[in-house]
Amino acid sequence: MPAKNPTPPDDGELIPDEPLHDHIDQLGLSQVRFAHLAGVNDRTVRRWLSGELETPACVHRLAIFALELQEADPIRCAELIEVFTGRGDDDGGTEQPTPPRADPMTGKAFAYELENLGLSQSEFAQLTLTNPHTVRRWADQEQYIPSWVGRFMRLVDAVQSARHGLFTELLRELRITPTE
């Protein structure tokens, strides 16, 4: 089967400054543990890294938030990564750590978490580079909410509490405009 060519991003989309493998290295994670952090299997990460599949922009944003948290509060970042990825050695053994399974997030829980984070659906869509209609469907329980969404929300919460102003700085850097 021929490799899939990645599609170029829209002109208005913020293109990640660094390749995904740099983010993974900076976080000090193996591909397997990063896959668990992103809520995908390790084969998907290998395909992203090889260029066979385009890495979703939301995955780059997840990595950026994890890196910002790592810089602001390394202990909190390490704790969250352990929660998301499970524990164990995955650098050569045959046993791969299995992240804890979480029940799928409901639309009601999603809307509640957005409110707790002080984010509108529009802001969350901008933040994760997700279609606003998809975010609305998640909140209205019309569409399954992927596992990365809950992880992303926990990272946002940790970044907001890590250092005063850090979250606002990130929003400004990512060119996200708050809605009133």
In this structure, the number of other CB atoms found within 10 A of the CB of residue 40 comes to: 18
Single-letter amino acid code for the residue at 3: A
Task: Tell me whether residue 98 is in a domain.
Answer: yes
Residue 118 belongs to domain spanning: 20-173
Q: Are 49 and 20 in contact (CB under 8 A)?
A: yes
Number of domains present in the structure of the chain: 1
Does residue 12 lie in a domain region? no
- Six token digits for residue 95: 């046993």
Q: Is residue 116 part of a domain?
A: yes
In a domain, 11, yes or no: no
Query: For residues 81 and 103, what is the distance between their CA atoms, to the nearest angstrom?
Result: 18
Residue 151 lies in a domain: yes
Q: Is residue 25, in this structure, part of any structural domain at all?
A: yes
The closest of 44, 46, 56 to 7, measured between CA atoms, is 56
Residue 80 lies in a domain: yes
> Which amino acid is it at 17?
D
pLDDT at 172: 76
Quickly count helices (H) and strands (E) in the chain: 10, 0
Q: What is the pLDDT of residues 80-136, one digit of tens each?
A: 888 877 654 444 444 444 445 556 789 999 999 999 998 999 989 988 889 999 999
User: Can you tell me the distance from the alpha carbon of 56 to that of 44, in angstroms, rounded to the nearest whole number?
Assistant: 11
In this structure, is residue 61 part of a structural domain? yes
Mark out the alpha helices in the chain (DSSP H runs). 20-27, 31-38, 42-50, 57-72, 74-85, 107-117, 121-128, 132-139, 147-162, 166-173
53: Cβ contacts below 8 Å, ≥ 6 apart = 4, 6, 44, 47
pLDDT digits (tens, 9 = 90+) for 160-171: 888 767 777 777
pTM of the model: 0.73
